[in-house]
Amino acid sequence: MGRIFIILVVAMVPIGLYMYFFIKRIFATFNAPVEKKSIKILIIAASVCLAAMCINIFSVTAIIVLHIVVAAMAVQFVNFIVKKIAGEKYNALNIWKKLYGSGIIPLLISAVLLIWGYFNMMNVTETDYTIYTDKSIREEGYRTALIADIHFGVSVDIEELRQKCDEISGKNLDIVVLCGDIVDENTGKEDMEKVFEALGAIESTYGTYFVYGNHDRQPYSDNKLYTERELENTISLAGITILSDETYTINNEFTIVGREDASITGDSGRKTISELLDNEDMDNFILVLDHKPTEYKENSEAGSDLILSGHTHAGQIWPANILFQIMKFDDAVYGYTKINDTQALVTSGFAGWGYPIKTSAPAEYVIIDIKSR
């Protein structure tokens, strides 16, 4: 833990340095005596404080500062282009120079992005997909709701969640699937019970199925607010079926495979998809629930038809979603993917983690119509 703290502190140095020159430019624009000792100390102190706010990178203050830094760097690049194009005429661009020097543009950009991100997180929308299969399933198909990553307590309260559950109940569902991280380390026992009670009340023909995410059992907390047994009992009492490396078949034609979370157990700590499908009828439609979008290749080779996941929050904060795609932390970050005959969907989640801001994708629940061709 100490090593991680040291790494974070070192990583804050360039942010502090950049903020020093950014703040100094603002002071100079308003003709403050920036070479005066007291002003220098003030600028240094402000820069250090802003950098220190970023040590907890999952705090709202860190997100605000980082947005300002990135926006300021973008505006600085624009100023570089303007200088190159204007040449000697640059000195005559008084309005632009004042706007650039004052720092108002990155502050406004950051404010707009963060307000929009807050609105985006707090307004859960419906996203729809239609998935076609060559498997022989009933003519009307199976309408499925996918919910993941509520991280209860970050954004929606219990009344808002109940309203959304009522909304989802009206979608004429056959199946509801909960792909993990419904609760997390900040969710108390009473709230955990209310959340699963609300989710268990969603109406569907064949019931609700749950797989664990990496936060549900509060593994990252030294002071857990509920036990694993209490969590399991609560979910079961709500009428929700837990699938932990288990399968469940509907109508002898539709098999749901629920996997343990690879983020917690590691791939060696859970059954392989081949082991889980070993005794299953592969003429059935195979729906795999896996909190973390991983092992797409193995699922394709094993004959899975559709994989549903969450976990990524679609990056939550742009451009993290682009970085996640480049760095390949998971097999997908958001949306639809096809791997040979296997299809996969990753939801951005009902909310997010750490702070109520989401700029990379909408907060959502997903309605999937699975139909035979």
Q: Are 347 and 219 in the same domain?
A: yes
Q: What pLDDT does 82 receive?
A: 94
Are residues 50 and 179 located together in one domain of the fold?
no
The more confidently predicted of residues 369 and 360 is 369
Instruction: Please state the separation of Cα 138 from the chain's center in Å.
Output: 34
Domain match, 337 and 278 both:
yes
**Confidence label for 98 from pLDDT (cuts 50, 70 and 90):** very high
Helices 60-86, 104-122: axis angle to 10 degrees equals 140
**Which domain-ending residue is among 71, 104, 119?**
119
Neighbouring-strand partners of residue 286: 255
- Mean pLDDT on 87-112: 93
pLDDT-derived band at 2, boundaries 50, 70, 90: low
Residue 38 pLDDT > 90, yes or no?
A: yes
Which one of 60, 86, 119 terminates a domain? 119
| Shared-domain flag, residues 76 and 132 | no
The total number of residues shown for the chain amounts to 373
- Identify the residue whose tokens are 């098999």: 255
Q: Is the pLDDT of residue 276 over 70?
A: yes
Residues 113-125, mean pLDDT to the nearest whole number: 94
Segments forming the whole domain that contains residue 80 = 2-119
| Same domain? 146 vs 237 | yes
Are the C-beta atoms of residues 171 and 143 closer than 8 Å to each other? Answer: yes
What percent of the chain shows pLDDT beyond 70?
97
Is residue 170 located within the same domain as residue 291? yes
Nearest-angstrom CA–CA distance, 369 and 306? 12
* 177 and 142 Cβ atoms separated by less than 8 Å: no
Do 101 and 129 sit in the same domain of this protein? Answer: no
Kindly tell me if the per-residue pLDDT of 316 is higher than 50.
yes
Q: Contact, 365 vs 168, CB < 8 A?
A: yes
Among 92, 119, 146, the domain-final residue is 119
Residue 245 and residue 145 share a domain: yes
Same domain, 268 and 289: yes
Query: What pLDDT sits at residue 1?
Result: 45
Kindly report, residue by residue over 154-201, the tens digit of the pLDDT: 889 999 999 999 999 999 999 999 999 999 999 999 999 999 999 999
When divided into structural domains, the chain yields a total of 2
- Tens of pLDDT, residue by residue over 135-147, are 999 999 999 999 9
Treating both helix axes as pointing N-terminal to C-terminal, what angle do 94-102 and 60-86 enclose, rounded to 10 degrees? 160
251 Cβ neighbours under 8 A, 6+ residues apart? 138
208 burial type by CB count under 10 A (0-12 exposed, 13-18 middle, 19+ buried): buried
How high is the mean pLDDT of the chain? 93
Task: Over range 237-263, report the average pLDDT.
Answer: 96
Cβ burial of 35 (10 Å; 0-12, 13-18, 19+) is exposed
Q: Clarify whether residues 89 and 133 are in a common domain.
A: no
pLDDT in tens, 4-23: 556 666 778 899 999 999 99
Cα–Cα distance for residue pair 125/171, rounded to 1 Å: 13
Q: How far apart are CA 75 and CA 291, in angstroms?
A: 38
pLDDT at 74 over 80: yes
* Phi then psi dihedrals of residue 23, to 5 deg: -70, -40
Residue 104 shares a structural domain with residue 131: no
Indicate if 249 and 331 belong to the same structural domain: yes
| CA pair distance 139, 124, nearest whole angstrom | 31
Query: The tokens of 75 are what?
Result: 């505006």
pLDDT band at 295 (very low <50, low <70, confident <90, very high): very high
Over residues 257-262, the mean pLDDT reads: 95
Give the per-residue pLDDT at 23.
95
Pairing of strands 142-147, 364-372: antiparallel
For the chain, what is the HEC assignment?
CHHHHHHHHHHHHHHHHHHHHHHHHHHHHCCCCCCCHHHHHHHHHHHHHHHHCCCCCCCHHHHHHHHHHHHHHHHHHHHHHHHHHHHHHHHHCHHHHHHHHHCHHHHHHHHHHHHHHHHHHHCCEEEEEEEEECCCCCCCCEEEEEECCCCCCCCCCHHHHHHHHHHHHCCCCCEEEECCCCCCCCCCHHHHHHHHHHHHCCCCCCCEEECCCCCCCCCCCCCCCCCHHHHHHHHHHCCEEECCCEEEEECCCEEEEECCCHHHHCHHHCCCHHHHHCCCCCCCEEEEECCCCCCHHHHHHHCCCEEEECCCHHHCCCCHHHHHHHHCCCCCCCEEEEECCEEEEECCCCCCCCCCCCCCCCCEEEEEEEEEC
CA distance 286 to 304: 5
Residue 350: which CATH number? 3.60.21.10
Q: What is the average pLDDT across 327-335?
A: 89
CA distance 30 to 228: 58
Give 322's pLDDT tier (boundaries 50, 70, 90). Answer: confident
